[in-house]
């Protein structure tokens, strides 16, 4: 079973798919890397953050969404992303790549510092409209994810789960994993009920996620204009 079997493209309006394609085809440029609170740039555009365990595939997903192979740095070493990276998409949206949590090949003091920075960003960023919580489709929600779920709930930050690496998950187990993730998130007040299944390698689910994020950007820009 694939992402297309669980969430077939026909369930999404063609106009939304096209709007997502157009948005993510725009120029996407790196604008800042923040290693401290003072370095976080002012927020003038809607932001969507990507969070998840180390090595869950955040950089690969951002590259797949934007169609750029090397926009976000990919590494086989967990914990390589040690700053908050900001990418502006066509003057309409900012994609934010946060440091991974859980296992990381770094000193404990460094891990504590970037974890505190990440928590500060998630709690206090006024223009952050959604966090995408990336979950490895082979493992589902793990213990390291749960403090982030609680943090987002306490901050009132809307977030939704994006399963990654679906091409590497056993097909017979994928539907069960997706159902278990959805059931757990249903108990969290800030969690959005929509679940996205993606594969950066095959492109599965990427168009649907683009469409959802483009819709969020449009709504947020209307609100900011008021």
pLDDT tops 50 at residue 9:
no
Query: Would you state the structure tokens that stand for residue 171, as one six-digit string?
Result: 């097909």
pLDDT at 105 over 70: no
Q: Does 150 score more than 70 pLDDT?
A: yes
What Cα–Cα distance (Å) separates residue 205 from each residue in 65, 97, 103, 195?
Answer: 10, 19, 27, 10
Mean pLDDT over residues 13-24, rounded?
A: 94
- 15-19, 42-46, 103-107 — which is least confidently predicted? 103-107
- 157: tokens are 């930050």
Mean of the per-residue pLDDT values of the chain: 87
The Cα 112–Cα 30 span in angstroms is 25
Phi, psi of 53 (to 5 degrees): -65, 155
**pLDDT value at position 106?**
63
**Listed range (88-97, 106-115, 196-205) with the worst mean pLDDT:** 106-115
> Average pLDDT, stretch 90-108?
82
User: Across 64-140, where does the E strand assignment appear?
Assistant: 84-89, 93-97, 128-136
Residue range 169-196: mean pLDDT, rounded: 94
pLDDT digits (tens, 9 = 90+) for 71-98: 866 444 444 557 899 999 999 999 999 9
Distance CA 192, CA 160 (A): 5
Instruction: Answer for the pair 24, 89: CB distance below 8 angstroms, yes or no.
Output: yes
Residue ranges of domains in the chain, CATH in brackets: 3-225 (3.40.50.300)
Q: What is the pLDDT of residue 83?
A: 87
Which pLDDT does position 3 carry in this prediction?
A: 47
The residue ranking higher by pLDDT, 81 or 160, is 160
The residue-averaged pLDDT of 167-179 equals 92
**Average pLDDT of the residues in 106-131:** 84
Calculate what percentage of the chain has a pLDDT beyond 70: 87
Residue 17's nearest CA partner among 199, 211, 219, 216 is 211
Six-digit token string for 170: 């056993």
d(CA 87, CA 144): 26
The C-alpha angle 154, 95, 225, rounded to 5 degrees, equals 80
Q: How far is CA 58 from the centre of its chain?
A: 7
Structure tokens at 123: 């709690």
SS3 95: strand
Q: Tell me how far apart the alpha carbons of residues 160 and 112 are, in angstroms, rounded to a whole number.
A: 25
The confidence score (pLDDT) of residue 110 equals 72
What's the pLDDT score for residue 82? 73
User: pTM, whole model, 2 decimals?
Assistant: 0.88
pLDDT for res 52:
93
Q: What is the pLDDT of residue 92?
A: 94
184 has pLDDT over 90: yes
pLDDT recorded at residue 104? 56
Computed on alpha carbons and rounded to an integer, the radius of gyration of the chain in Å comes to 16
Mean pLDDT confidence for 43-69: 92
């Amino acid at each position: 079973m694939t992402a297309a079997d669980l969430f077939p493209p026909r369930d999404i309006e063609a106009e939304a798919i096209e709007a997502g394609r157009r948005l993510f085809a725009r120029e996407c440029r790196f604008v800042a890397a923040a290693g401290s609170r003072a370095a976080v740039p002012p927020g003038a555009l809607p932001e969507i953050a990507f969070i998840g365990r180390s090595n869950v595939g955040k950089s690969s997903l951002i590259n797949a969404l934007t169609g750029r192979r090397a926009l976000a740095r990919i590494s086989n070493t967990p914990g390589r992303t040690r700053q908050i990276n900001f990418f502006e998409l066509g003057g309409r949206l900012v994609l934010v790549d946060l440091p991974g949590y859980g296992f990381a090949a770094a000193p404990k003091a460094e891990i504590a510092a970037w974890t505190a920075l990440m928590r500060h960003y998630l709690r206090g960023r006024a223009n952050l409209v959604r966090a995408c919580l990336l979950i490895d489709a082979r493992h589902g929600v793990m213990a390291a994810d749960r403090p982030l779920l609680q943090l987002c709930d306490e901050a009132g930050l809307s977030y939704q789960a994006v399963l990654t690496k679906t091409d590497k998950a056993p097909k017979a187990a994928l539907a069960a994993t997706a159902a278990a993730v959805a059931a757990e998130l249903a108990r969290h007040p800030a969690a959005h009920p929509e679940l996205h299944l993606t594969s950066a390698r095959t492109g599965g689910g990427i168009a649907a996620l683009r469409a959802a994020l483009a819709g969020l950007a449009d709504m947020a820009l209307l609100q900011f204009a008021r």
